[in-house]
Chain A
C-alpha cells in the first residue's frame, strides 16, 4: 500500500466519521444531563430533508445547515416537553420520535427526490494543508468538518473545565442533590436536549448537503443508532467520541478499500470491529466495579420531578 492510498483512506475516514461525530457529540451532552434520547435517527432525517429543501430553494448550503439546526431543535423540543414536563418514558418517547421523523421526512421530502444541489465544496486551509501527510488528511475538507473539530475541542473544554460542565454533570449524576443546591434541573436538561437536537440536525444536513448531496428517503441508514452505540463506546467522554467516530469511519472505509485491492482477509470481519468494541465496552460497563471509572451518568433515563424528594 503506498502512502497516497493511506492518505486517501484516512481522509475518507475523517469524512465518514464526521456525521457520526456531530450527532454523537449532541447525544453525549444530552445523556450527561441524564436524558436518553433514542430519537436521534428521526431528528437526523428531519435535519437532512429540511437542510436539503432549504439549500435547494435558496441555493445556499449555509442556509440549509441553519434550517436543519432549527428543525433538529424543534424535534428535540417535542421530545423535551414530553419527557421533561409530562414525565413520559424516555425510551418509548425517543423511539416514537424516530418513527415520526422517518415518516414525516419521507412525506415532506417527496417533492425534491431526484434533485441535486452543489453543497459545500472542500476548502484547503492555507499553511495547515501544506503539512506533509496530516495536511491532506485533516485540512483539505469542507467547512462543516472544520466546525466539527472546533466543536469537539470546545466541548472538551466546556465539559471538563467550566462551571457549565460541572452543572451538567451534577444534573446527570444526581438531580435531587443538584436541585437542592439551587440548580434548575429541568432548565439544564431542556438546554442539553436542545443541543442534542441541533447537532443531530447538522449531522443530517452533512449527509444531504456534503456526503451524498441529494435527498432520498431514509438516507441516513441507521447512523443515528450507531451514534448511540458510539456514546457508550466512548464511555461518555467527549474526546473519545471523536476518536470513536473516526475509528468507525476507518473501519467502514477499510472494509471497502481492501476489497478493491483484492486482500484475502474477510472484509466482513473489519466491518464488525467497531461493534465488537462497543459490545466489549458495554460488558465492562455492566460490571459494577468499573462503573465509577466509565462515567455513565447515574440518573440516565430516569425522569425527575422537582416537587418530589429523593
Chain B
C-alpha cells in the first residue's frame, strides 16, 4: 500500500515536472521607476519575485524598469508581447493608453494595467485601496500631533492622490476636531532632494507629523533629523528613520499577481477592474513603531480591524466637500467607479486643488 502510493506520488511528480519543464507561463512586467526606488516599482518587483517563488519553474518572468510614460512604453510593451509573454503587467497610470493600443494588436496576449480605468477583451485593471491606509495614517497623525498641524506631500493632483488626502484628513478629524492639514505638491513621484525640501518647508510652518504620496524615504529622514514624526509610503521605510517612523503603509502585490497568473493557467482569466486593500492583504501596516503611546496603538489596531472586516468604509456619507455641497449622501459608500473620480476636497481643507 505504502509502496504503491509512493510510486503513484513519484509518477505524479515526474509527470508534473515534465509538464512544467515543457511550457512555463511567460509573464512580463513594465515599471516606471528603478526597482531600487524602495517604493512603488520596488514593491511591484517584490510581487514579481513572490510570483517566481510561488510557482517555481511554472512561470518565467521578465521585467523592464525605468520606462518613460508615452511612446517608449508602447515600444517596450510591444517587445514584451512579441517575445511571447502570455501575460503582461504594466504598472503606472501613464502606461494606460500604450497598453490599450498594444492589447488591441495582440489579442491572444493578456494584459493587466495598474491604476488605470480602460478595459478591453484582453485588458484588465487593478488598483490598491491606498485610501484605507491613508485613513489610518490620518487617525494616527491626528492623535500624535502636538501642534495640531499635520502635513501632506502630494505628488500630482490626480484622483488617486486627492482621494487619499481626503481620507487622511477625515481620519485625523475623526479623532481631533481642531486638526489642520497643510498640503504641498512636489510635482514629482520621485526626487529625494525635492521631497526633503517639501518636508522642511512643512516643518518650518509648524507641521509635526508628515504624510506623503511621493515614493522616496527622504521626508522620513528630514523628520528624523528634526525629532518629528512621519509615516512611510509604499514600502517599509522604518530603517531610514527609526525614531520618526510611525509605520509604513506597504503595498503588497504578490497575492494579486499569484491569483491572476493562476487564472491564466487555469484558463479562467477574465478582464476585470479589481480594487484590493487590507481585506485582500494587498495593503499592510509595516513595522509599527513600538515607541507609540498605548492609546494610539490601540486606535490603530481598532481602525485597521474595522476596515479589514469591511465594517467601516472611509468614504461613507454624509460627506460635504469644501465648498459646502453634499459630496456623498448619507448612508451611501462611494462605489469604486465613484472613488475613481474624486476631484474635490472634503470640508475643512482650505486649499484649492491645483489645475
A→B interface (CB under 8 Å): 5, 8, 12, 16, 19, 106, 109-110, 113-116, 207, 211-214, 216-223, 252-253, 256-257, 259-262, 264, 266-268, 271
A284 to chain B minimum Cβ distance, whole angstroms, is 28
Contacts of A261 in B (CB 8 A): 205
Chain A contacts for B338, CB-based, 8 A: none
Known contacts: A12-B200, A16-B197, A256-B184. The answer to whether A218 contacts B37 by CB under 8 A is yes
For B197, the chain A residues whose CB sits under 8 A away are 12, 16, 252-253, 256
A267-B185 contact given A211-B196, A212-B196, CB 8 Å threshold:
yes
Which 9 residue pairs spanning A and B have beta carbons closest together?
Answer: A217-B36, A221-B191, A217-B34, A256-B201, A212-B192, A259-B184, A212-B218, A257-B201, A260-B205
Q: Are B352 and A213 in contact, with the CB atoms below 8 A?
A: no
Complex CA gap A113/B36 in Å reads 8
Also in contact, A213 and B37, with CB within 8 A (given A221-B188, A252-B194, A268-B354): no
- 6 A-B pairs besides A212-B222, A267-B185 with CB distance below 8 A are A16-B197, A116-B240, A212-B193, A256-B194, A260-B182, A260-B202
A-B contact pairs, 26 of them (CB 8 A): A8-B204, A16-B193, A106-B34, A106-B36, A109-B36, A113-B36, A113-B38, A114-B38, A207-B193, A211-B192, A211-B193, A212-B195, A214-B192, A216-B36, A216-B38, A218-B190, A220-B193, A221-B192, A253-B201, A256-B201, A259-B183, A259-B184, A260-B184, A262-B350, A266-B354, A267-B185
Most buried by A among B187, B188, B201, B216: B201
Task: Decide if A257 touches B204 in the complex (CB within 8 Å).
Answer: yes
Question: How distant is the Cα of A221 from the Cα of B239 in the complex, in angstroms?
Answer: 22
Provide the residues of chain A in CB contact with B185, threshold 8 Å: 259, 267
Q: How far is the CA of A252 from the CA of B351 in the complex (A)?
A: 20
Tell me, in angstroms, the Cα distance from A304 to B165 when the chains sit together: 57
Residues of B within 8 A of A267 (CB): 185, 354
Using CB atoms, name the residue of chain B closest to A220.
B193
Question: CA–CA, A116 to B66, complex, Å?
Answer: 25
A107's closest neighbor in chain B, by CB?
A: B36
- Shortest CB-to-CB span from A292 to chain B, Å, is 37
Cα A158 to Cα B354 in complex, Å, equals: 47
Question: Which residue of chain A has the shortest Cβ distance to B236 in the bound complex?
Answer: A114
Of all chain B residues, the one with the shortest Cβ separation from A261 is B205
Binding site for A on B (CB under 8 A): 33-38, 66, 151, 182-188, 190-198, 200-202, 204-205, 207, 216-218, 221-222, 239-241, 350-352, 354-355
Q: How far is the CA of A115 from the CA of B201 in the complex (A)?
A: 25
State the Cβ distance, B286 to closest chain A Cβ, in Å. 13
Q: How far is the CA of A140 from the CA of B64 in the complex (A)?
A: 44
User: Chain A residues with Cβ under 8 A from B200's Cβ?
Assistant: 12
Which A residues are CB-close (under 8 A) to B218?
Answer: 212, 214
Contact A216 B37 (CB under 8 A): yes
Q: How many whole Å from B227's CB to the nearest CB in chain A?
A: 15
Known: A5-B204, A257-B204. A216 touches B183 (CB 8 A): no
Kindly provide the distance from the CB of A116 to the nearest chain B CB, expressed in whole angstroms: 6
The chain B residue sitting closest to A222, CB to CB, is B191
What CA separation (Å) do A223 and B201 show in the bound complex?
20
Cβ–Cβ < 8 Å partners of A212 in chain B: 192-193, 195-196, 216, 218, 221-222
Bound: A266/B185 CA distance, A: 11
Q: Are B205 and A114 in contact (CB under 8 A)?
A: no
CA distance A280 to B182 in the complex (A): 34
Q: Are B240 and A214 in contact (CB under 8 A)?
A: yes
Could you tell me if A216 and B184 are in contact, using CB atoms closer than 8 angstroms? no
Chain A residues closer than 8 Å to B355, beta-carbon distance: 266
B349: min CB distance to chain A, Å: 10
B194 cross-chain contacts in A, Cβ below 8 A:
221, 252, 256
A144 to chain B, nearest CB (A): 15
What chain A residues lie within 8 Å of B198 (beta carbons)? 256
The minimal Cβ–Cβ distance linking B20 to chain A, given in whole angstroms, is: 31
**A223: which B residues are within 8 A, CB to CB?**
193
Contact of B216 among A5, A219, A259, A271 (CB under 8 A): A219
Tell me which residues across on chain A come within 8 A of B186, comparing CB atoms. Answer: 256
CA distance A276 to B216 in the complex (A): 28
Q: Which of A110, A252, A264, A266 has the most CB of B within 10 A?
A: A252
Residues of A within 8 A of B183 (CB): 259
Which residue from A12, A213, A218 sits with its C-beta under 8 Å from B34? Answer: A218
CB of A61 to closest CB in B, whole Å = 15
Complex interface: chain B residues within 8 A of A110 (CB) = 36
Q: Give the contacting residue for A264; candidates B37, B187, B352; CB below 8 A.
A: B352
Most chain-B CB neighbours within 10 Å: which of A12, A207, A218, A262? A218
The residue in B188, B191, B192, B350 that gathers the most chain A C-beta atoms within 10 A of its C-beta is B192
Looking at the assembled complex, report how far the CB atom of A114 sits from the nearest CB atom of chain B, in whole angstroms. 5
Cβ of A176 to closest chain B Cβ, rounded Å: 41
Enumerate chain B residues within 8 angstroms of A5, measured Cβ to Cβ: 204-205
> CA of A304 to CA of B186 in the docked complex: distance in angstroms?
44
